[in-house]
Structure 1
């Protein structure tokens, strides 16, 4: 965890200021996102009623609006970020609840207002899907506020709102960010912008089906690092295997296709675990799938093999938590096999292991084996 960041309150109700803890893996952990701040200012005085904050990051909008709302529900596709939202709500005394959700269509409550600030790397199809699904959670006449920069596809999201509702207003444009608002029509059905990609991957001649979704790493293909790790894993019959940071589940599925083993797949992203569940079903593999931050969801289990292609872009905090945590769920003679780009050095994150050795090298990647 890093921070905290301090933000002055924008309304008379509630505390004079808010403090937000952040961490690697969150968007903009070192400073507030401009679009979230502009969105929060736009919501002040908007009589939010029952409010839905979509993709809440570490909770700036949801926590900041709680004092003037009847109720607040924050959603996050990331278990790690959802933990931050819950912590920040509790420490700021905000009556705001958080759920790890990838599909807003699963929400049964109806809201008066909703808000969303797409991140710059969000695929447009996924951003549009969230806008459409957020509108579907609103009561007729309810308002959706969307804050986006041009770099995050702001004009395309405004066009999407117009197409879905027949009208869209720009209520502010400042600091390179615009906030758009639209009302849910009396009759509304959310269209489908996001479609899964289904394909067959092969490792050492062994075929297996995979399902990916927009917003995932290596969507629609099997990346070279994962392929190298799968070919190197050497899983034995009877092994208990954990596919850590599973994505669509290729490592766990390949292990189950090549050995009589049990497999568990876990990922921080609810989008990834949805895809992994579909991949297991398509492959006919009986395995468990858990959405959790690192090994938090399997802390009481033990594994002979932990296979991991970690999100090296997520920062040192995430890597240390992932790889250090893996040692706690290994059996006494278990092994962590992790793949990374050859230009990276993961040794600082593997200090809790008694031995670390190079297992395989590819054109761009290295697989290392770490033992407790």
Structure 2
């Protein structure tokens, strides 16, 4: 199947232009899609809403480069602003999170008055979601099919005052000896409906002590920071940071639900956003970067951790793509370690961790062969994880009862001996 031409490179259909009435509000969309649309519409003072601060800044730069005047704002919910009889414009992106698209249409419906409308530009004629969504929330829906794309639009009718409905899920999670905690998650935030395995892998490794000042980079809905906050106690402090405004709102909601009062939230997309927190001011930095950015966000988190940690502070980053982050850690930290847990690599800086030498087969190391160990059962768990590595590197398993919430630590199995970077 031929890949459709991106909407960012297409001419705006005349049917879409004809459907626009009144003020224009653009809901999400990539910076290039929104820029292309507004450049061709030539409408003054459109409002563009984004969930993510990084995306919003990229959109501002794109609009400035095109000479387009528009207002760009970051929101956690689209219905937080009422737009009267405006036209909401959005895009049916290839792929993307289905639940977020449903939430976008639902919140869009409640953000306009009767007579307001929504217009959706679809890159293919066979979109399987938005035609039904618009009919479900708005009733009568107009569809204009073209050779390569589809334009849908619908108007909110008088008397349709259905109540708002939150699209969210609750889940329970427990780490170490902490009590189980309830978390609320919503579409548009990573790991919808569960504590992801990467966060759990990190939480089982990280050492957080009472009284610690902890920075949770890319906090998502806040699982890592909440468990860290329970451990730090009233004398400690947690700072949740994320570029996603909805994620930050959920972290605050979940922290309050867990009984935490010793925390703050910071909307941050780059190093400058963290400067007000103070350099070298944190005992612990936790980071679970997203994997879709090919390591670029992980690299930024490493740089931020190096700047924010106190001398002797502890840093833990979980990833399935350790190469890029490891290269940067090798330049910013004198030594660091790596532990395999739950199929993830946890890169860490922790001077109090006890390391044990791990014998290597030097001949296999020279030939770059893979070395395998027999499978071993984790103490205190039914889970079995094979120990294996390449280039002579062996990651040992650990007792997964330890981690955030444990005040004292027994020696942990670790990486290869005598190295500061795992290549």
TM-score under structure 1 length normalisation: 0.81
Match status 1:367 vs 2:342:
no
Gap change, CA 1:363 and 1:310, over 3 Å in 2? same
- Cα deviation per residue 1:51-86 (whole Å; 9 max; x = unaligned)? 000013215335642663243000111111001111
Structure 1 counterpart of 2:139: 166
Q: Secondary structure at the match of 2:93?
A: coil
Q: Distance in 2 between matches of 1:221 and 1:317?
A: 25
- What is the match of residue 260 of structure 2? 285
Partner of residue 55, structure 1:
28
The SS at the match of 1:337 is strand
Aligned residue pairs total 340
Runs (4+) off by over 4 Å: 38-42, 45-48, 190-194, 342-345
Deviation at 1:292, TM superposition (A): 2.3
Q: Deviations over 1:277-315 (max 9, x none)?
A: 221111011211223214543222132211001112223
Q: What's the C-alpha RMSD, in Å, of the aligned pairs?
A: 2.9
Aligned counterpart, 1:350: 329
Q: Which has the larger radius of gyration?
A: 2
Q: 1:111-260 maps to which residues of 2 (within 5 A)?
A: 111-149=85-123, 154-175=127-148, 177-189=149-161, 192=164, 194-207=166-179, 208-260=181-233
Distance 2:5 2:300 in 1: 23
Specify the SS of the correspondent of 1:355.
coil
Higher mean C-alpha deviation, range 189-198 or range 285-294: 189-198
* Distance in 2, Cα, partners of 1:262 & 1:299: 17
What residue number does 2:81 align with? 107
Contact 2:26–2:88 (CA under 8 A) maintained in structure 1: yes
* Residue 336 (1) aligns with residue 315 (2): yes
- Counterpart for residue 269 of structure 1: 244
| Structure 2: gaps (5+ residues) | 351-423
Identify which of 23, 42, 48 aligns with 1:68: 42
TM-score by length of 2: 0.72
Task: Say which structure is richer in strand.
Answer: 1
Retained in 2: the 8 A contact 1:132–1:191? no
For the residues of structure 1 that align with 2:227 and 2:207, how far apart are their CA atoms? 11
Q: Quick one: distance in 1 between partners of 2:13 and 2:250?
A: 32
Distance change >3 Å, CA 253–CA 339, structure 1 → 2? same
Q: Which residue of 1 aligns with 2:409?
A: none
CA contact (8 A) 1:38 1:179 kept: no
Match among 261, 283, 289 for residue 310 of structure 1? 289
- The 1:44–1:365 alpha-carbon spacing in structure 2 relative to 1, beyond 3 Å, is same
TM-superposition CA deviations, 1:335-365 (whole Å, max 9, x none): 3210112775532343541234225321401
Q: Secondary structure at the match of 2:187?
A: coil
Using the alignment, how far apart are the partners of 2:284 and 2:5 within structure 1?
39
Shift of 1:325: 2.6
Distance 1:201 1:186 in 2: 44
